[in-house]
Amino acid sequence: MPLIKRGRKDVELVSIENPHGGKGTGTCRQLLGGDSTIPELPANPGDFESCMKFLHESTLMPKAYIGLHPHEDTEEIYFIVEGEGEMKIDGKVIRVTSGDACLIKRGSAHDFRNIGDIPLRWVVVTASVKQ
C-alpha cells in the first residue's frame, strides 16, 4: 500500500504511569509502527519498509517526567508541540519549548521533564541505526 493514514480518532490513547521509571502520568498514541518498550500500546509493526520504528504523539502532565533511558541502536526526534520541558542528554540539560526539535543520537541516554503548568505535548519519531 503506497499510503498509510492514521489519525487521533483511529488509534487508542494509552495512559502510562511512571514512564521509563520516571514519575507521574503521560499519554501516548502510537500512530505508526510499533514500540516494543511500551507493550501496552497497540502496534502496527508492518507499517515501515525502512529503518523507521514508530511515530508517537505523547503528553506529560505538569511535574511528570520520563526516566533516564539509553538509545543503544536507535535515534529519536522529538518535536515539541506545546508546553515547556527539560531534557537531560548525557548529563547536559537543555530546555525545550513549543516549536523546538531535538535529535537524540544513538549511544546517548536521556530523560524528559515537564517543567511547565500545562501538559507537555510532542511528536516522537524513532528509527533504527544500522551499523
- Amino acid found at 121: R
- For all residues of the chain together, what is the average pLDDT? 93
Residue with cell 480518532: 9
Host domain of residue 91: 14-128
Residue 9 within any structural domain of the chain: no
Residue 20 within any structural domain of the chain: yes
d(CA 28, CA 123): 10
Counted domains in the chain: 1
Q: How confident is the model at residue 130 (pLDDT cuts 50, 70, 90)?
A: confident
Residue 84 within any structural domain of the chain: yes
CB-based contacts of 5, cutoff 8 Å, min separation 6? none
Residue 79 within any structural domain of the chain: yes
pLDDT, position 63: 96
Classify residue 92 as exposed, middle or buried by CB count within 10 Å of its CB (0-12, 13-18, 19+): exposed
Pairing of strands 52-60, 25-33: antiparallel
Residue 21 within any structural domain of the chain: yes
Q: pLDDT tens, 46-80?
A: 999 999 999 999 999 999 999 999 988 999 999 99
The enclosing domain of 21 has a CATH number of 2.60.120.10
pLDDT, position 114: 98
d(CA 87, CA 71): 14
Residue 1 within any structural domain of the chain: no
Residue 88 within any structural domain of the chain: yes
Q: Which residue from 126, 120, 117, 128 is spatially nearest to 51, judged by alpha carbons? A: 128
CB-based contacts of 114, cutoff 8 Å, min separation 6? 24, 60, 61, 62, 63, 64, 65, 83, 84, 85, 120
pLDDT, position 57: 97
Residue 3 within any structural domain of the chain: no
